[in-house]
Amino acid sequence: MDTASLTGKELAAAINADTKQRAAARTAHGPAPRLALVVATDDPASAWYVNSLRKAAERLGIACDRIDLGADATAEQIRAELGARSADPAVDAIMLQTPLPEGVALDDVSSSIAAAKDVDGVSPLSLGLLASGLDGFVPATSEAVVELLKHHRIPLRGRHVAVVGRSNIVGKPLAQLLLAEDATVTVCHSRTADLAAITSTAEIVVAAAGRAGLVTGKHVADGAVVIDVGTNEAADGGIVGDVEAESVRGKASALSPVPGGIGPVTTALLMRHVVDAAEKAAN
């Protein structure tokens, strides 16, 4: 079986073109949309991602401020910074980069981000709005999975989707988004007994556990669609996903690549959310 590659570059380019046009329209009548990136880590992968976000913002006409609190920042310092940026009318959007310092919980500090500026949908309030089906920003990575499937005309209504991973930033919100699309969702995790027995019954498998090579050919039914959300550092310094791609190709009908699949769509959606926040603040 030929396995189609569900690339995200074309979709990301379309989203970025619209975002750039809307950002220019805002700038023509006032300040550019502004994103505050709050960083409290010295993780190299996070530094690379933050730098890529800044470059993406610059290309699209979005102002981006990096606020580096240091890897030893306390929960109180992080909450104070997020609260100050939330209260600043010059800031349209806020993103808190992870991982956080040891002992600092995301759900604790993220509650200090105003929902109207929480463009990555990480605060308990934003997640609650999503679970309730109410208007708010949703985690961009989860949204990217749904948008990529729609872009490639893969139907979701009535289909069984297995989500491998239950984090608050991908797995759980993705399950909510898939339910809103009328999919039947099974959420698997590290305590799931016989993972392959469950995922191999699904028509769509989403790997979002943060473990390289976790999903292999034995986890996938013939003809299933596989979405790889993982971004794990390989031994050679490159990036690999949660899917063992070689064992899945030829069995799955379609597979999203790493890199080049979910990643560019996630970044594009984050930038779109920034402009969304700026437009809502102006109205």
96-126 residue pLDDT tens: 999 999 999 999 999 999 999 999 999 999 9
Neighbouring residues of 255: CB distance < 8 A, sequence distance ≥ 6:
3, 4, 5, 6, 225, 226, 227, 228, 243, 245, 248, 249
Nearest 5 degrees, angle CA 92-CA 170-CA 97?
A: 45
User: Residue 283's pLDDT is what?
Assistant: 80
pLDDT above 90 for 140: yes
**What confidence category does residue 148 fall into, taking pLDDT thresholds of 50, 70 and 90?**
very high
Three-state DSSP class for residue 159 = coil
Binding-site residues from annotation for NADP(+): 165-167, 231
Tens-place pLDDT, residues 230-269: 988 888 878 899 999 999 999 999 999 999 999 999 999 9
User: Residue 92's pLDDT is what?
Assistant: 98
pTM of the predicted model over 0.75? yes
Binding-site residues from annotation: 165-167, 231
User: Residue 275's pLDDT is what?
Assistant: 98
Q: CB of 126 within 8 A of CB of 136? A: yes
User: Residue 238's pLDDT is what?
Assistant: 83
pLDDT above 80 for 45: no
Whose tokens are 């609190």? That residue is 69
Residue 19 half-sphere exposure toward CB, CA atoms < 13 A: 27
Structure letter (DSSP) for residue 43: -
